[in-house]
Amino acid sequence: MAVKFACLADRPEALDTIARWYFDEWGHLRPDAGPERIVAKLQGSMNRDRLPLILLAMDDQDVVAAVELKYHEMDIYPEREHWLGGVYVAAEHRGRGVAARLIGHAVAKAAALGVEILHLQTERRDGGIYARLGWLPVERVNYRGVDVLLMQRDIAPGDGLLPH
């Protein structure tokens, strides 16, 4: 699969798809956040050159995955500013390396924007794909009733490669 990347700001027609993915995957964790509220929140991430922003993986004209670069995902860590989250790959495209490429693209985008440290949370106790991509575990915590592993990655200027 020849994956290309785009910002949600450049593909606004994908907004409803991303919101549906997020609601279907994580809506049960926030009963107060129905699909309409998710759309409204994601509209604030339709940026290209500043956070928050959403990056998309595209196969031809089809959106196959999304990831967010955002601020303060976990309110219990106000000192941890920059976060990677909302990593989602459409079921029919999983197992093809799309997530790894999209995460790499997001790290490169964060580096280009001057971010020095990115944080994330995952339910995978071993860190899953993030550990394989060089993210380091920080601590395990129960956040909003879910046991998660907090991870981080230091980012050097020019880290990663932004595909053309």
Is 59 within a domain?
yes
The pLDDT confidence band at residue 34, using thresholds 50, 70 and 90, is confident
Is 159 within a domain?
no
Phi first, then psi, for residue 76 (nearest 5°) are -80, -5
pLDDT at 158 over 70: no
User: How does pLDDT run across 81-119, given as a tens digit for each residue?
Assistant: 999 999 999 999 999 999 999 999 999 999 999 999 999
Written in H, E and C, the secondary structure of 132-159 is HCCCEEEEEEEECCEEEEEEEEECCCCC
- Residue 163: what pLDDT? 42
Is 138 within a domain?
no
Q: What is the CATH number of the domain that holds 92?
A: 3.40.630.30
Question: What's the domain range around 86?
Answer: 3-115
Is 44 within a domain?
yes
Is 120 within a domain?
no
Is 39 within a domain?
yes
pLDDT at 164 over 90: no
CA pseudo-torsion sign 4, 87, 83, 16: positive
CA-based diameter of the chain, in Å?
41
- Residue 31: what pLDDT? 67
Domain count, the chain: 1
User: Which residue type sits at 44?
Assistant: G
Q: What is the pTM of this model?
A: 0.91
Mean pLDDT score of the chain: 92
